[in-house]
């Protein structure tokens, strides 16, 4: 019997990537992981995420390459021998606010880098390319919940624009080369090993230190907070089933998330938005401390609310978020105290 090719996982030292790797290794997969280990978000925690996977070596196998996806030759070299593999592409320059001051890094990683991943998938004859998109693509839309049938032509940040560009680029490769591509629009992922530029980390650190927290939109924003374990289960389920052409797709009334080509787009979120003030109050309760809040106007590029319509992902893959916010934050706080110490 021919062995299944290893799975190529980009962004393996990132928040979501490291937890997807954990799941894959635990079920005995061979994983080839690449990551640039950039300083954005802290290099130390990225190295620690990788180190936390070491104990799974007896079940699966992880080969790591420190590679920047903007370096096409290095990406190709790291993927040598992976013909016919599944690619889970999670590497990207993340963050809406960071894109306001560092637009060049988004162009290099999210556009140039994604182009390299598409070319790699084509030349390898990849069985499936699953890639990370974002709820940010919905931009100026106000209709809730966000659905993949919605128009997404009005991004309000460069980050969002690059993620929408990824979706369009992937469709072109699905159409031209028959490359199965599935894009997942992530909605506010949180949990242990989470990004250090996100609200759970920033708020927890500040509350424990007695520092004020910056609360944009004066706390009225609502987010579809989605626990990491729920996200991982969805990513892996989708990766296991390559996209196929939709025989019902109608070019006269095209569904934006489906195609005549082997291409799909799905929302992956909790379908249960929470106001930021409720999020903060839950965190205060779990930490046993009150937050000092600096209420600020909306940040440029942010949207007032997000909520994922997940009916398609549920009906096709059985995706059902199972972690209430309070339980997810409890697990996060427990991990945070263990990793950073009681005062962070």
How far is CA 93 from its chain centroid? 11
Contact yes or no for 188/136 (Cβ under 8 A): no
pLDDT reported for residue 1: 45
Asked if the structure places residue 188 within a domain, the reply is yes
Asked if the structure places residue 288 within a domain, the reply is no
Asked if the structure places residue 108 within a domain, the reply is yes
Asked if the structure places residue 19 within a domain, the reply is yes
pLDDT reported for residue 344: 58
Residue 183 maps to which CATH number? 3.40.50.720
CB-based contacts of 212: which residues, under 8 Å, 6+ apart? Answer: 206, 291, 292, 293, 294
Cis, bond preceding 145 (omega within 30 deg of 0): yes
Q: Which tokens go with 316?
A: 């096709």
Asked if the structure places residue 120 within a domain, the reply is yes
- What is the chain's pLDDT, residue by residue, as a tens digit (344 residues)? 457 889 999 999 999 999 999 999 999 999 999 999 998 888 999 999 999 998 887 777 999 999 999 999 999 999 999 999 999 999 999 888 888 888 999 999 999 999 999 999 999 999 999 999 999 999 988 888 999 999 999 999 999 999 999 999 999 999 999 999 999 999 999 999 999 999 999 999 999 999 999 998 888 899 999 999 999 999 999 999 999 999 999 999 999 999 999 999 999 999 999 999 999 999 999 999 999 999 999 888 788 889 999 999 999 999 999 999 999 999 999 999 999 986 55
Name the residue among 9, 194, 13, 11 with its Cα closest to residue 91. 11
Cα angle: 137, vertex 326, 283; to 5 degrees: 85
Asked if the structure places residue 279 within a domain, the reply is no
Tell me which residue range forms the domain holding 318.
Answer: 7-195+224-271+307-322
**Any idea which residues carry the catalytic annotation?**
159
Q: Which tokens go with 298?
A: 């909306």
Quote the number of domains for the chain. Answer: 1
**How many Å apart are CA 126 and CA 83, to the nearest integer?**
7
Asked if the structure places residue 155 within a domain, the reply is yes
Q: Which tokens go with 252?
A: 């006269």
Asked if the structure places residue 293 within a domain, the reply is no
Contact yes or no for 342/292 (Cβ under 8 A): no
**How many Å apart are CA 235 and CA 21, to the nearest integer?**
11
């Amino acid at each position: 019997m021919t062995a299944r090719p290893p799975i190529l996982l980009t962004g393996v030292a990132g928040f979501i990537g490291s937890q997807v790797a954990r799941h894959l290794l635990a079920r005995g997969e061979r994983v080839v992981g690449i990551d640039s280990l950039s300083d954005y978000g802290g290099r130390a925690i990225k190295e620690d995420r990788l180190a936390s996977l070491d104990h799974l070596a007896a079940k699966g196998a992880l080969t790591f390459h420190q590679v920047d996806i903007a370096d096409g030759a290095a990406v190709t070299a790291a993927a040598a021998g992976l013909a016919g593999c599944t690619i889970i592409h999670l590497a990207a320059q993340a963050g809406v606010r960071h894109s306001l001051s560092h637009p060049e890094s988004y162009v290099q990683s999210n556009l140039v880098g994604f182009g390299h991943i598409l070319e790699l998938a084509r030349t390898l004859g990849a069985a499936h390319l699953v890639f990370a998109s974002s709820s940010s693509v919905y931009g100026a839309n106000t209709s809730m919940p966000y659905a993949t049938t919605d128009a997404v032509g009005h991004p309000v940040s460069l980050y969002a624009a690059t993620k929408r560009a990824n979706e369009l680029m992937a469709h072109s490769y699905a159409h031209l080369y028959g490359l199965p591509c599935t894009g997942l629009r992530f909605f506010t992922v949180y949990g242990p090993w989470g990004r250090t530029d996100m609200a759970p980390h920033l708020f927890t650190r500040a509350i424990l230190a007695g520092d004020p927290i910056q609360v944009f939109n004066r706390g009225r924003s609502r987010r579809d907070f989605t626990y990491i374990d729920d996200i991982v289960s969805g990513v892996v389920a989708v990766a296991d089933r390559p996209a196929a052409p939709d025989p019902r797709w109608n070019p006269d009334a095209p569904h934006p998330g489906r195609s005549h080509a082997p291409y799909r787009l799905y929302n992956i979120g909790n379908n249960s938005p929470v106001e930021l003030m409720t999020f903060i109050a839950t965190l205060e309760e779990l930490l046993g401390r009150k937050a000092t809040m600096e209420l600020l106007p909306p940040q440029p590029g942010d949207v007032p609310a997000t909520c994922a319509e997940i009916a398609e992902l549920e009906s096709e893959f059985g995706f059902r978020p199972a972690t209430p916010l309070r339980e997810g934050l409890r697990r996060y706080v427990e991990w945070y105290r263990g990793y950073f110490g009681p005062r962070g």
